[in-house]
Amino acid sequence: MHIYLTGASGFIGSTLATDLLAAGHTVTGLARSDTSAAALERAGVRVHRGTIDDPAGIAAGAAEADGVAHLAFKHDDFTDMANSAKADLLVVEALGAALAGTDRPLVVTSGTALVAGLGRTATEADDPVGEGPGAGRGLVERATVGFADDGVRSSVVRLAPSVHGDGDHHGFVPTLVRAARESGRSAYVGDGSNVWPAVHRLDAARLFRLALEAAPAGTRLHGAAEQGVAFRDIATAIGERLGVPVVSVDPADAGGTLGWIAGFAAADNPISSARTRELLGWEPTGPTLLEDIAAGVYDQV
């Protein structure tokens, strides 16, 4: 297949591009800068210049492809997730319209935070909740799943908040590491028993490829290799690596220590990926989140 890929030069997208090429597919990647375009060309990826602020331009590129994976997202300001999600919805709606009636695959990125706080382990059958961290992306997810009724083989990959591995400089874990450096302590909220799922970037990229190749229309998939890592253990691993104390902070005071990520740090987000593994034969093989932290993957962030 010829795959059109947004976010092609990003942390997961660049790995997905490599995985797709190795599997015999051809790839065209969206690039907004000369630097990104040059990196894609070196990797053997065709370049389509544009930005996610131009949904029509992205749709035009997608219309020429056999399938689309949408990984780009406005990460410039994590504190304004609502507006970033609105911009993402415009892109996704344009992609759905471009592929309508073609039965071509469209795989869109979502997050497991959309099903946090259920009081149980969430599954792929769970609809997005209306509140909580990242809830603004629920509309994107619902729109994507709905494209199945319009003749698009659409699917959503809900990624764990901690997609980890070499090159992770702007995600949730690096944010926690920087907060620990700046405050001189590695913090968890309350007793820290709440859990985050986790997945290595190589495993996440492979899941996107499998979804492009075989996910049925209207499918929700869970990109979680680890069902849930206690946040206290994450904070402890960071503290031990940095040589700073590990402390509990009251939920009311968490923002002062952790900043914008405090809400996510307090979220309880146990995730099952059993259905995803059964459906696509996805078997994660990468190191765990705590192994990556202990190995020094985040020493340079």
* Contacts of 50-59 spanning 24+ positions with Cβ under 8 A: 52/6, 52/87, 52/88, 52/91, 53/87, 55/90, 55/91, 55/93, 55/94, 55/95, 56/94, 58/6, 58/30, 58/91, 58/94, 58/95, 59/94, 59/95, 59/97, 59/98
pLDDT in tens, 132-157: 555 678 999 999 999 999 999 999 99
Give the C-alpha separation, 75 to 89, whole Å. Answer: 15
- Which of 32-36, 122-126, 256-260 has the largest mean confidence? 122-126
pLDDT in tens, 165-200: 999 998 999 999 999 999 999 999 999 999 999 999
Catalogue all structural domains in the chain, each as residue range(s) with its CATH number: 2-161+199-223+271-284 (3.40.50.720)
Closest CA to 205 of 104, 299, 286: 286
Q: Does pTM surpass 0.85? A: yes
